[in-house]
Amino acid sequence: MAGNPLQIVGLGASTPIGRNVWASAAAARAGVCGFSEHPYMVDTAGEPMRIARAPWLDVGLGGSARLGALLLPAIEEALAPLTELAGNLSLRIGLALGLPPPRPGQPDALVDDLLVAIRERMGNRFVRIARFEVGHAAGCMAMAAAEAGCARDAFDACVVAGTDSYLAPETLEWVEACDQLHGGGPLNNAWGFIPGEAAGAVLLGTPRLAQLCGIAPLAELVSVGIGMESRLIKTDEVCVGEGLTQAFRAALQGLAPGEQVHNVFCDLNGEPYRADEFGFATLRAGEHFRAASDFVAPADCWGDVGAAGSLLHVALAVIACRKRYANGPLSMVWGSSESGERGAVLVRCAEPLRG
């Protein structure tokens, strides 16, 4: 799609700090912290587990019902630019989903139940649905699939959405058993992460679609890069960022000669593994970044949101440019899955909002 890039024409989100994308972006920009103590889960040090929970959802709501309550409003928000046109145009819309990998606390039928919920709420709106159950990098992989689908004319537009929640009790216990749960006490892990939950969605369309529908694009998808890391977290291997470097180099091929990335949005969550990986990758590709160390990692506001992260970060990148607080129009978003998948996305923003 290098010569005819897809355009971002809609955004959606549900996060612990906002029930829509613009509220979430404003809260993240302001540094609003969505952390709280779990109402009944305690860690092995006897302290309440710190989490980032969507406060409008009952803490007892779980499984596909919880993920659906996050995901469906985000998809509908992203689709809003096309909603009024639904009766006048016959549009083929695809759906590419980023989802968590199988893990303790996740029902076996989670994905199937989610797909049923989507069909019950939205009927047969989507002509094709693809899913990527790999966690953090799933959104990047879903964007690559959407790009490929539009290139082969499988659909006119595609909603790329991701959702995740670490808040099932069995999942929280598993995170702590893996020594990844953040806690402030002397017996806790200060280098773990805050379990979060969220959903993000991006509506992609061809330039022809935007023109046909009279929609002003928010940004364009420049390129997507996918890599694979063999030295994984939770092993004794030392990761030197080879997989993330692959993803970076593939995405950076979309840059014009001499062009540099202005903004970086990523899923760094406080774990040293991720910080080391990013450091090694930027050492290899540093000349393509205006200032790679000047990154935005919103896990300090909404916790680690897993498979929702990449789509939320794309939304933050677009809104930062539209609201004139970004460093420039070109942003990179990247995600790093525990199973080795790595993804990077380049986004170029349209003209900022006036007034």
Q: What is the CATH number of the domain that holds 345?
A: 3.40.47.10
237 and 161 housed in the same domain: no
Q: What is the dihedral of CA 4, 92, 145, 151, to 10 degrees?
A: -30
Classify residue 1: in a domain, yes or no. no
181 with 47: CB under 8 angstroms?
no
pLDDT tens for each residue of the chain, 355 residues long: 445 789 999 999 999 999 999 999 999 999 999 999 999 999 998 999 999 999 999 999 999 999 999 999 999 999 999 876 655 567 899 999 999 999 999 999 999 999 999 999 999 999 999 999 999 999 999 999 999 999 998 999 999 999 999 999 999 999 999 999 998 777 788 999 999 999 999 999 988 887 778 888 999 999 999 999 999 999 999 999 999 999 999 999 999 999 999 999 999 999 999 999 999 999 999 999 999 888 999 999 999 999 999 999 999 999 999 999 999 999 999 999 999 999 999 999 977 765 5
Classify residue 354: in a domain, yes or no. no
Q: Domain span at residue 312? A: 222-349
How many domains does one find in the chain?
2
207 and 227 housed in the same domain: no
Classify residue 313: in a domain, yes or no. yes
pTM > 0.75: yes or no: yes
| Closest by Cα among 3, 31, 10, 19 to 300 | 31
205 and 241 housed in the same domain: no
